[in-house]
Structure 1
Amino acid sequence: MAAHVMAGIGGKGGTVVGVIWFENVLTYVLVGARVYTRRYIRGSVGWDDLCLVITALLMTVFAILTTISCAHGMGQHVEDLETYQFSDALLYLLCAQSVVSMAIGMGKVTVAVFLLRIVTASWHRWFLWFCIASMMILSIFLSIAVFAQCTPVESIWNPLLIDQKVCYLSLTVVAFIDCAYAAAMDFALAAFPWIALRGLKMKRKERISICVSLSLGVFAGVCGVIRTSGLEVLSNSRDYLYATSDSVIWTASEVTTTIVCVTLPALRPLYNKVRGQESSSAGYQQHDDSAYNTGGSFHMSSYANKRKDTGGLGYPKSNSNFASAEASRDPTTIKNDSDETILLQAEGKNIMRVQEVSVSYDNGNSLNNVSIKQDV
């Protein structure tokens, strides 16, 4: 039996490979910068960082499989390929699609977990957990359906077995539902901060700044809409390898845009450090799971206290004595060198500030000092 000869990268294949690897490099630059910022500047990493790293790794696997598929003929017209070249290219492309469906889900999970570190209202948390669960269920189902849609499995990519092919579900329909839901999730998570942060007592300018930075996910939603509108090519199996090239590019762009949006807000401390500014030691303090059942909230604390009281991925072992330690700090000395620090709330679900005023007066015999403290 003669060895299979690769068709070589041609047609739209070169564009596909160039785009996905450029986006992979961009992804690792941003993810690496974020992890460095969280670990060495902020003092801790969180579960959202872990989800982000997993998403980046899945995108690398997707890029490798897609590149191999392009080397076998993806991006070229079917009439320019041998039957075995078409079959090999389609097999690697199906593997890539199975992997990227998980990457899409993990990207949305990363955004939701990031927001879970900020919100405290019960319905906010329930909404985010619903987003996480529903997105992952759909992503896993699509990932499995890629190879479970027909029997025998090899008939999915081998045109020589077309007469034996029996399909139990339409991958086009499953992909359309998953892609449309993912796009809707992008828009929902982009709009969510405007609702969740509305009740916080902070300067209007600061609130808008935070919401805008977290709302950049609309661009991922736009990529998702474009990708979804092009899914009709999935039913056009005659020239599938050529027709699906644009969809592959938009898929990679959607995940990359999600990574960019969730990464940029966390890089402000690194930006300040590069500019030579002193970075604030204030960071996240997250309660244990029991705090979510009692209306717990997040508080800022110093890196020294974080190292003492935290475990695992930088989360505190207990939820006590944070507010009292912070109430004594002068609020004018706290720097918001990350958009995230503005979102931290106190026990009353509001940002609190203690203002102290000293008044000196002469009562005729002696000079008296009066200290007045006021909660604002």
Structure 2
Amino acid sequence: MGTQSVPLSKNPQGILIEALLWTLIILAGICLGLRISCKFLRRRRLWWDDYFIIFAWIMLLTSCVMTTTNVGLGFGMHFVDVPVENLLTMGLVANISGFTSVLGVAFSKTSFAITLLRLTDGWLKWFVWFIIITLNLTQHASAVFFWVSCDPPAKTWNPTLEGTCWPPKIMLILPWVIGGWSAFCDFALALLPWRLLFRFHMFRTEKVGIAIAMSMGVFAGITCIVKLTTIPPSSDHDFTYNSMQLVIWGFAEVACTIIATCIPTMRALFVHRTSTSQLPSLQLNADNGAVAFSSNRPPPILDHERRDNMSDRSILGLAEASGSSSLGSTSPKTGAMLNEKSQSNRNQRVIMYEMKSLGSEER
């Protein structure tokens, strides 16, 4: 059966849907383009977080195209005004749109979590891994639900077929459970940078700037919560009209996540452009005279680093100051311990550099 095109003049709500969705996709695309440009301008290679965010934007674009197609079929109009011959196609296209939108949620949030993996260690790293695994399990399950919630699967977009579907109560509870966990992950990932920055010796304004830039994901969590409140009841018989807010807020969640994930890298580009010098500058700790490197490049590893453990601990806040000792009189066992501590300090300097530059060069 063929479909009948519905002019936008008869679908004013469809005009609003298209305007909002394409505005969001363009904004997200601009931010993504600036992120990638920043990497190339700073001669950095794309890393896994970049590939995940690119794939998320592609999923968002696919969802936008599918929704635009449905608007042309009558999505946004009251159910009774939609041409009957368009309903089956609209249902199938809606499944594809929802499927790709949910994948966009999963991959965009995974991208930011992967970035945090390089800035964390210990239990924080394990916590980020826990978020990545559980978030992807729940979101990918949610994406599959579009196709397996009925038997046969074709009944998910063609209710006239004989078969069975999951109880409406389950279909209402699952989005809340999955969406609630997604929102929690957004807030948790947004707060982690603040916890990490307490370990670094930087100017307060620099700390706040980086933390705010890396905490924009909180807006994705807010849009996720708002989206959950727009889920229409399963008994809604005017879903072609009442689902508009759900589609828009679901789309906004992915777009906000992409934009929030790109902001830290764009901030690094801004700082790089406005920097008056590319040479390392020395930052003095007024409390104990410790010196920290502040630069767009990694701090150099000094030959006397092993005699500067006190400064490293002061800069990075890794441990309380301990008594000084002379390297010249250390035993082999003590020397090995100092070498191990020196390597740990080097690793922490790299983490500090990653937090400040927010680059994505694979290490």
Kindly provide the CA deviation profile for residues 156-187 of structure 1, in whole angstroms up to 9, marking residues without a partner as x.
Answer: 222433xx230135333222222111111111
Query: Which residue identity lines up with residue 32 of structure 2 in the other structure?
Result: V
Corresponding residue of 1:145 = 145
* Aligned-residue offset at 1:84: 2.4
Secondary structure (helix, strand or coil) at the match of 1:139 reads helix
* Aligned-residue offset at 1:302: 8.3
Considering fraction of residues, name the structure with more helix: 2
* Aligned-residue offset at 1:130: 0.9
Q: Identity of paired residues, percent?
A: 23
Corresponding residue of 1:194 = 194
Kindly tell me: are residues 17 and 302 of structure 1, through their superposed partners in 2, closer, same or farther at Cα, counting changes over 3 Å? closer
Matches within 5 A, 1:269-288: 269-271=268-270, 280=278
Matches within 5 A, 1:40-119: 40-119=41-120
- Find the aligned partners of 1:46 and 1:281 in 2 and give their Cα distance: 26
Kindly tell me: are residues 269 and 281 of structure 1, through their superposed partners in 2, closer, same or farther at Cα, counting changes over 3 Å? farther
Kindly tell me: are residues 351 and 136 of structure 1, through their superposed partners in 2, closer, same or farther at Cα, counting changes over 3 Å? closer
Secondary structure (helix, strand or coil) at the match of 1:146 reads helix
Query: Which residue identity lines up with residue 56 of structure 1 in the other structure?
Result: W
Corresponding residue of 1:366 = none
Query: Which residue identity lines up with residue 164 of structure 2 in the other structure?
Result: V
1:126 aligns with 2:126: yes
Kindly provide the CA deviation profile for residues 290-329 of structure 1, in whole angstroms up to 9, marking residues without a partner as x.
Answer: xxxxxxxxx99987xx9xxxxxxxxxxxxxx9734897xx
Corresponding residue of 2:360 = none
Matches within 5 A, 1:293-332: 323-324=301-302
Kindly tell me: are residues 280 and 138 of structure 1, through their superposed partners in 2, closer, same or farther at Cα, counting changes over 3 Å? farther
Kindly tell me: are residues 55 and 300 of structure 1, through their superposed partners in 2, closer, same or farther at Cα, counting changes over 3 Å? farther
- Find the aligned partners of 2:165 and 2:351 in 1 and give their Cα distance: 61
Corresponding residue of 2:288 = none
Kindly provide the CA deviation profile for residues 270-294 of structure 1, in whole angstroms up to 9, marking residues without a partner as x.
Answer: 335666x567499xxxxxxxxxxxx
Corresponding residue of 1:369 = none
Number of residue pairs matched?
Answer: 299
**Does the 8 Å CA contact 2:217/2:260 hold for their aligned counterparts?**
yes
Instruction: Give TM-score scaled by structure 1 length.
Output: 0.71
- Find the aligned partners of 1:150 and 1:270 in 2 and give their Cα distance: 49
**Does the 8 Å CA contact 1:200/1:350 hold for their aligned counterparts?**
no
Secondary structure (helix, strand or coil) at the match of 2:198 reads coil
* Aligned-residue offset at 1:349: 3.6
Query: Structure 1: 5+ residue runs without aligned partners?
Result: 283-298, 307-320, 328-344, 354-376
More divergent stretch after superposition (152-161 vs 174-183): 152-161
- Find the aligned partners of 2:36 and 2:351 in 1 and give their Cα distance: 30
- Find the aligned partners of 1:174 and 1:181 in 2 and give their Cα distance: 11
Corresponding residue of 2:6 = 7
* Aligned-residue offset at 1:3: 2.7
Query: Structure 2: 5+ residue runs without aligned partners?
Result: 281-292, 306-343, 353-363
**Does the 8 Å CA contact 2:217/2:256 hold for their aligned counterparts?**
yes
Kindly provide the CA deviation profile for residues 141-170 of structure 1, in whole angstroms up to 9, marking residues without a partner as x.
Answer: 011111100122222222433xx2301353
Query: Which residue identity lines up with residue 135 of structure 1 in the other structure?
Result: L
- Find the aligned partners of 1:43 and 1:106 in 2 and give their Cα distance: 22
Kindly tell me: are residues 280 and 24 of structure 1, through their superposed partners in 2, closer, same or farther at Cα, counting changes over 3 Å? farther
1:347 aligns with 2:346: yes
1:178 aligns with 2:181: no
Query: Which residue identity lines up with residue 185 of structure 2 in the other structure?
Result: M
- Find the aligned partners of 1:12 and 1:194 in 2 and give their Cα distance: 41
Instruction: Give TM-score scaled by structure 2 length.
Output: 0.74
Corresponding residue of 1:311 = none
Kindly provide the CA deviation profile for residues 26-48 of structure 1, in whole angstroms up to 9, marking residues without a partner as x.
Answer: 11111111111112225332211
Corresponding residue of 2:254 = 255
Kindly tell me: are residues 272 and 126 of structure 1, through their superposed partners in 2, closer, same or farther at Cα, counting changes over 3 Å? closer
Kindly tell me: are residues 6 and 351 of structure 1, through their superposed partners in 2, closer, same or farther at Cα, counting changes over 3 Å? closer
Kindly provide the CA deviation profile for residues 186-217 of structure 1, in whole angstroms up to 9, marking residues without a partner as x.
Answer: 11111111222222233333222221221121
Corresponding residue of 1:168 = 166
* Aligned-residue offset at 1:13: 1.6
Secondary structure (helix, strand or coil) at the match of 1:62 reads helix
Secondary structure (helix, strand or coil) at the match of 2:214 reads helix
- Find the aligned partners of 1:70 and 1:85 in 2 and give their Cα distance: 11
- Find the aligned partners of 1:324 and 1:302 in 2 and give their Cα distance: 18
Matches within 5 A, 1:204-219: 204-219=204-219
**Does the 8 Å CA contact 2:278/2:295 hold for their aligned counterparts?**
no
**Does the 8 Å CA contact 1:65/1:93 hold for their aligned counterparts?**
yes
**Does the 8 Å CA contact 1:202/1:351 hold for their aligned counterparts?**
no
More divergent stretch after superposition (252-261 vs 202-211): 202-211
**Does the 8 Å CA contact 1:200/1:351 hold for their aligned counterparts?**
no
**Does the 8 Å CA contact 1:217/1:257 hold for their aligned counterparts?**
yes
* Aligned-residue offset at 1:226: 0.4
- Find the aligned partners of 2:266 and 2:257 in 1 and give their Cα distance: 15
Kindly tell me: are residues 140 and 325 of structure 1, through their superposed partners in 2, closer, same or farther at Cα, counting changes over 3 Å? farther
Corresponding residue of 1:239 = 238
- Find the aligned partners of 1:186 and 1:247 in 2 and give their Cα distance: 19
Kindly provide the CA deviation profile for residues 107-148 of structure 1, in whole angstroms up to 9, marking residues without a partner as x.
Answer: 1101101111222x2111111111111111111101111110
Corresponding residue of 1:316 = none
Corresponding residue of 2:136 = 136
Query: Which residue identity lines up with residue 215 of structure 1 in the other structure?
Result: S
**Does the 8 Å CA contact 2:213/2:267 hold for their aligned counterparts?**
no
Secondary structure (helix, strand or coil) at the match of 1:158 reads coil
- Find the aligned partners of 2:84 and 2:304 in 1 and give their Cα distance: 69
Corresponding residue of 1:313 = none
Secondary structure (helix, strand or coil) at the match of 2:42 reads helix
Query: Which residue identity lines up with residue 103 of structure 2 in the other structure?
Result: M
